[in-house]
């Protein structure tokens, strides 16, 4: 699947909630397969929202590498990276809802697969709790800190039609 790029008006759409009865259906299963395959092809990609492939539904995936960033190979090691990406697994968030976030914020560098070759620094909560459903329709509540908290907030923004460039003070190439 192609990832929509900045300037495409669909990226500004607010995503719609998925009825619980549809979560385990063929359409969502196919969408998740497509999203995972798309993200596997992105060497430095660690998260992807459905809207980024043109589907305005409340769903995003995050690479499990964010749970152990040290396990992610350096971008210079292309062959090792390719092997890791082939085995990559994902956290799935369907109809996610931010339950709470810490008052403590941190500025972290950020990029986006929909804003190629541009980076900025975004202030986000250092810790959060999110409620969502997994690909089997099971509801879960998960705490997140560090990189995972940052990525979850970035992906939640996508579901509201917000890009990191809407939040950063400066964008660098």
Q: Which of 22, 27, 155, 172 is catalytic?
A: 155
In angstroms, the CA 17 to CA 11 distance is 16
The answer to whether residues 164 and 156 touch, using CB atoms and an 8 Å cutoff, is no
In angstroms, the CA 148 to CA 1 distance is 24
In angstroms, the CA 1 to CA 12 distance is 19
Asked about 155 being catalytic, the answer comes back as yes
**Which residues are identified as catalytic?**
155
């Amino acid at each position: 699947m192609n990832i929509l790029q900045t300037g495409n008006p669909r990226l500004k759409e607010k995503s719609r909630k998925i009825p619980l009865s549809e979560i385990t259906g063929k359409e969502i299963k196919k969408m998740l397969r497509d999203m995972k395959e798309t993200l596997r092809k992105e060497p430095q990609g660690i998260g992807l929202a459905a809207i980024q492939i043109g589907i305005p539904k409340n769903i995003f995936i995050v690479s499990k590498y964010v749970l152990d960033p040290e396990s992610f190979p350096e971008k210079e090691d292309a062959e090792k990276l390719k092997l890791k990406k082939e085995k990559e697994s994902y956290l799935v968030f369907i109809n996610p809802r931010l339950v709470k976030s810490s008052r403590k914020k941190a500025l972290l560098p950020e990029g986006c697969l929909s804003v190629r070759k541009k980076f900025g620094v975004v202030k986000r909560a250092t810790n959060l709790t999110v409620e969502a459903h997994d690909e089997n329709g099971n509801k879960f509540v998960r705490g997140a800190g560090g990189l995972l908290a940052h990525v979850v907030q970035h992906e939640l923004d996508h579901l509201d039609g917000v890009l990191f460039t809407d939040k950063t003070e400066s964008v660098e190439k």
